[in-house]
Amino acid sequence: MSNEHVAIAIDGPAASGKSTLARELSQRLGLIMVNSGAMYRAVTWQVLRKGIDPFDSAAVVAELGQMKLDCGVEGLASTIRVDGVDPGDELRSEAVNRRVSTVAAIPEVRERLVALQRRYLEVGNVVMEGRDIGSVVFPETPYKIYIDADATVRAQRRVEMGEVDAVEERDREDSSRKTAPLTVPLGAAVLDTSGHTIESGVAAAIELLEGQGLKTEAIRGR
């Protein structure tokens, strides 16, 4: 690792419970929580806003070159602004849900966002959730969890959130792309949250991380 800060990597398919787990770990252990999906969503949002075809990789890459991306932290949570604008709830719109996997498959998009993601570790201890955090962003961290849940449970979670999101289709695209596909990272502990409550899922995750050598008492507030 580039410095003494700790990175916890949480990967898994859509609606598997990554954000909930990352938020809980962030609050309990005082870690910066980075939602890497929001970064791919923000680029997608800007591409759609500019009327660019997300399937036209060359046009997306050209727009990426113009785009100012500011990644910061507010409280303990990551923030993102595109050309000075916070996209807010629009990051989770149906249009963005539908096209984010297409934009996220473009290698140049990934290269730029991975570099921004790694910079968070210079700021403090980090829990980062996504699809390639344990495999590509922080492959050297010993603290990795791959979280999963039944497809029906995941689809139901999105409905409960009031979102229109074809999670299985996104997972298929995210798992089959050439660059940094969704995969169980080497050394990751696998946690299925289907039968868990938030509390029991977080407890199980902390136990797995401690099994990987994480000293939760030592990093709290560091």
Which residues bind to ligand DC, rule: CB under 6 A? 14, 36-37, 40-41, 100-101, 104, 130-133, 170, 174
Helix (H) or strand (E) holding 148: strand 144-148
Closer of 40 and 45 to ligand DC (Cβ): 40
Closer of 86 and 207 to ligand DC (Cβ): 86
Buried b (16+ CB within 10 A) or exposed e, 22-40: bbbbbeebebbbbbbbbbb
Closer of 190 and 210 to ligand DC (Cβ): 190
User: Shortest distance, CB of residue 111 to ligand DC, whole angstroms?
Assistant: 12
Closer of 10 and 202 to ligand DC (Cβ): 10
Helix (H) or strand (E) holding 145: strand 144-148
User: Shortest distance, CB of residue 83 to ligand DC, whole angstroms?
Assistant: 20
User: Shortest distance, CB of residue 166 to ligand DC, whole angstroms?
Assistant: 10
Helix (H) or strand (E) holding 195: none
Helix (H) or strand (E) holding 190: strand 189-192
The alpha helices in the chain, defined as continuous H runs, are 18-29, 36-49, 57-66, 94-104, 107-123, 151-160, 167-176, 198-211, 216-219
Closer of 20 and 194 to ligand DC (Cβ): 20
DSSP 8-state secondary structure symbol assigned to residue 85: B
User: Shortest distance, CB of residue 219 to ligand DC, whole angstroms?
Assistant: 22
User: Shortest distance, CB of residue 157 to ligand DC, whole angstroms?
Assistant: 11
